[in-house]
Every structure is written in structure tokens, then in C-alpha cells.
């Protein structure tokens, strides 16, 4: 028969271990937003843009980031300043990132500053699931899984400076990838609402597309311009 004092000790140890397990498995978010960006809408604003040092990106959606999020719409950021971006960790996929995850900020850069910002701000919040190369690889893989430009073009929605209804854009993407995307608009230099970013929700393993637990408030009008790039 165990003495009650050793039983109390044992129970307290179990509690400590449990807390430690919760702490270590700190996958502290509910889903990812995979955010794609139309370069034409980044560049034709009042603020303008700078093409990367590698040249003008293709006329396709580029990756903005993979953002851990909570079901209530809030999100964690800058979760681990001891694990900051290390450019050599992505050297083997740098060319792919330059074409699929292009920087457009000024002055022109090779991408490391933008990727570093995304890793430090968002990637560190899912570091238990994706390490640095894993985070960027996951973005590239998701981009392959979701041909948004193809989806829109199949539905007759082209980046030609014309206006399309928000419902038709949403439907074209849902018909192609099976889930409802979030749309974000910004305004061009003459004040028109235009398609800027598309949010696709992904489960915490960063592999499966899911219906969004919460859609971002995207500031789109009912009719949206799809600008030329």
C-alpha cells in the first residue's frame, strides 16, 4: 500500500509532466491563411512597387504568406525571436521562391527581406510544425495545389482591367478548389476597388484545404476590377 504522501508527490509530478507536454506541443493556433497576391494590384496603387532584382515576376498570383490564425479571427505574431530567418536555410529553393513568392517592396531586393519578414512574423508561430525550409516548401506546394489564375480564367475572369462581380470571382475559385476563399481588395491610383489578395484556409498540418472558420474582412465592393499586370 502506497503512503498518502508519496501518492500526493506522484500526482503532483504527473501534473507537472502534463503541463510540460502542453507547453512543448505549443501548436498554439487553429488554422492557416494561405495568402496569395495579385502583383498588378500591389503595383498600381498610389504607393507603387519595385520589381525584384531578378526582374518582373510572371503575371500570376504570388505567395504573400502562410499565416497561423485563431478561429476568432485574431492571430499570433513574432512568436520566437531566438529562431530568426536564416537565408542559407532556403538557398536550395531560392529560385522557386523568387518566381512564386516574389518581393515587390521598394527598393528592389532579392527576396530575403520579404521572406525574413514572413518567417519572423508568422512562420515562428508554427515552428513546431514547419521549420524554416518546411515553411517555405509548404507555401510552394500549396501554390501548386491551387491554380487560382487558371480557376478564374476558366470562368472567363481575366486580368484585363475589367470589372467582375465579387460573387463570380468567389464562385470560380470555389468551383475549382472546393472551398470558399476570402477576397481582399485595395484601391488603385484612381480609387477603384480591385482584387488584391485571396485567402485560402489550410489545416494546421499545412496540407489540406479547409472551409475557413472565419473569413477576413476584405474591403471588396460588389464589383471588383481585375487589373492588368
Residues lying near ligand AMP in the complex (CB under 6 A) are found at: 33, 37, 42, 64-65, 67, 69, 75, 103-105, 114, 117-118, 121-122, 216
Q: Between β-strands 163-165 and 193-202, what pairing exists: parallel, antiparallel or unpaired?
A: unpaired
Give 75 or 171: the residue with its C-beta nearer to ligand AMP: 75
Give 64 or 143: the residue with its C-beta nearer to ligand AMP: 64
For cell 475549382, name the residue: 176
Residue 118 is among the residues annotated as catalytic for this protein = yes
Residue 225 is among the residues annotated as catalytic for this protein = no
Query: Exposed (0-12), middle (13-18) or buried (19+): which is 95, by Cβ within 10 Å?
Result: exposed
Written in H, E and C, the secondary structure of 95-150 is HHHHHHCCCCCCCCCCCHHHHHHHHHHCHHHHCCCCCHHHHHHHHHHHHHHCCHHH
CB 27 to ligand AMP: min, Å: 16
63 bridge partner residues? 36
Residue 117 is among the residues annotated as catalytic for this protein = no
CB 77 to ligand AMP: min, Å: 7
Neighbours of 123 (CB within 10 A): 28
Catalytic residue among 100, 122, 127, 184: 122
Give 117 or 174: the residue with its C-beta nearer to ligand AMP: 117
CB 147 to ligand AMP: min, Å: 19
Give 37 or 132: the residue with its C-beta nearer to ligand AMP: 37
- CB within 8 Å of 157: residues ≥ 6 apart: 164, 168, 169, 172, 226
Q: Is 12 helix (H, G, I), strand (E, B) or coil?
A: helix
CB 51 to ligand AMP: min, Å: 10
Catalytically active residues, by annotation: 64, 118, 122
Amino acid at each position: 500500500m502506497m503512503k498518502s504522501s508519496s501518492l500526493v508527490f506522484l500526482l503532483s509530478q504527473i501534473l507537472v509532466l502534463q503541463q510540460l507536454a502542453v507547453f512543448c506541443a505549443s501548436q498554439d493556433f487553429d488554422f492557416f491563411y494561405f495568402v496569395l497576391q495579385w502583383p498588378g494590384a500591389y503595383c498600381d496603387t498610389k504607393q507603387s512597387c519595385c520589381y525584384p532584382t531578378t526582374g518582373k515576376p510572371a503575371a500570376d498570383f504570388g505567395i504573400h504568406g502562410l499565416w497561423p490564425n485563431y478561429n476568432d479571427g485574431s492571430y499570433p505574431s513574432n512568436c520566437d525571436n531566438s529562431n530568426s530567418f536564416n537565408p542559407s536555410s532556403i538557398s536550395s529553393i531560392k529560385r522557386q521562391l523568387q518566381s512564386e513568392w516574389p518581393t515587390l517592396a521598394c527598393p528592389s531586393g532579392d527576396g530575403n527581406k520579404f521572406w525574413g519578414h514572413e518567417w519572423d512574423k508568422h512562420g515562428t508561430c508554427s515552428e513546431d510544425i514547419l521549420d524554416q525550409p518546411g515553411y517555405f516548401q509548404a507555401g510552394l506546394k500549396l501554390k501548386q495545389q491551387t491554380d487560382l489564375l487558371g480557376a478564374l480564367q476558366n470562368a472567363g475572369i481575366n486580368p484585363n482591367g475589367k470589372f467582375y462581380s465579387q460573387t463570380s470571382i468567389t464562385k470560380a475559385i470555389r468551383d475549382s478548389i472546393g472551398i470558399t476563399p476570402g477576397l481582399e481588395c485595395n484601391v488603385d491610383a484612381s480609387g477603384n476597388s480591385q482584387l488584391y489578395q485571396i485567402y485560402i484556409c489550410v489545416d494546421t498540418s499545412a496540407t489540406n484545404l479547409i472551409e475557413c472558420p472565419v473569413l477576413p474582412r476584405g474591403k471588396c465592393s460588389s464589383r471588383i476590377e481585375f487589373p492588368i499586370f
